[in-house]
Amino acid sequence: MAKSPWSTPITEALRADGIELGGIGLGDIELGDIELGAFDTSATPGFRGDKKSGERLLAERGPVLSDLQEKLFANGRSGDPRNVLLVLQGMDTAGKGGIVRHVIGSVDPQGVDHAAFGVPTAEERRHHYLWRIRKRLPRGGQLGVFDRSHYEDVLVVRVHELVPPDVWGRRYDEINRFERKLTEAGTTLVKVAMFVSLDEQKKRLAERLNRPDKYWKFDPDDIAERGHWPAYREAYQDVLDRTSTEYAPWYAVPADRKWYSRLAVTELLIDALRRLELDWPAAQFDVEEQKRRLAAS
């Protein structure tokens, strides 16, 4: 079973900033193994506030994230190879796009490298499944975002039996080795699995069918996928159990409340960036000399 350390960062990053939410207070930290069969997708662990206070807090925390990201970017420009890679996984309608828009949208686009991994192209299928992933890894200083990722190759690929079990079965260890190398090369992985309930998904799909401005988000295949829900849960359980490592842990985020999952991912990113202990890069030139040159120019 995977450890569920996700509520620690949200609580600790907030605590470090002395945020108490006007007396509402922070929730208890629940650490332990995650059993998806009993996972409460409507919970807001680590946070006792309501929607309104959650949204207000998110608005406050965006600039905090943005400042940290700018420092990461500045260090990257000065040659620091470190970067942060947010990996987003979740069933359709879980809110991955909303995270990109409302969390990543608060930072400078110059420092963001966003990649969405859909159904592989013909060219991608001719390569190893990590080929297209490696091509989109963030450079030093970047905040990379993977909307879906190499985990699709042990999720949809497994559920739909696109390769034999012994093939996908070998991928967990391979992914762990891949991610260990990534972290050794300077990448901080923030892996977020977003979980909605089958009912909440139904509501969100219905909204897409009721609003002509949302039709483009709807795919008839999404309904067929609902029939595979238990198989996906099993596949996600294995992902959490087998690929949540010390160097690249999974964070299982309840996603029935969009405001909560956005806040949680914001805090996870703030925490990841703080752990890099970034400072502004030192001048790689003599400041006083440059001031004189500038004055004379």
Nearer to a copy of itself, 15 or 293 (CB): 293
Nearest distance from C-beta of residue 266 to a copy of itself, angstroms:
14
| Dist. CA 79–CA 77, nearest whole Å | 5
Nearest distance from C-beta of residue 218 to a copy of itself, angstroms:
7
Nearest distance from C-beta of residue 116 to a copy of itself, angstroms:
7
| Dist. CA 220–CA 203, nearest whole Å | 15
C-alpha pair distances (Å), 227 with each of 156, 160, 200, 221? 13, 12, 15, 10
Nearer to a copy of itself, 123 or 184 (CB): 123
Nearer to a copy of itself, 16 or 209 (CB): 209
Structure tokens at 158: 């497994």
Nearest distance from C-beta of residue 280 to a copy of itself, angstroms:
5
The contact set with a copy of itself (CB under 8 A) reads 74-75, 77-78, 97, 100-101, 104-105, 107-110, 112, 114, 116, 145, 147, 202, 205-206, 209, 212-213, 215-218, 220, 223, 226-227, 280-283, 285, 287, 290-291, 293-294, 297
> Residue 192 class from Cβ within 10 Å (0-12 exposed, 13-18 middle, 19+ buried)?
buried
Cβ–Cβ under 8 Å, residues 251 and 192: yes
Strand 143-147 to 112-116 pairing: parallel
Nearest distance from C-beta of residue 229 to a copy of itself, angstroms:
10
| Dist. CA 129–CA 148, nearest whole Å | 13
Nearest distance from C-beta of residue 131 to a copy of itself, angstroms:
17
Structure tokens at 270: 């703030």
Nearer to a copy of itself, 226 or 242 (CB): 226
3 state SS of 133: helix
Nearer to a copy of itself, 98 or 249 (CB): 98
Nearer to a copy of itself, 7 or 106 (CB): 106
Structure tokens at 163: 């390769």
Name the nearest CA neighbour of 142 among 95, 190, 77, 202: 77
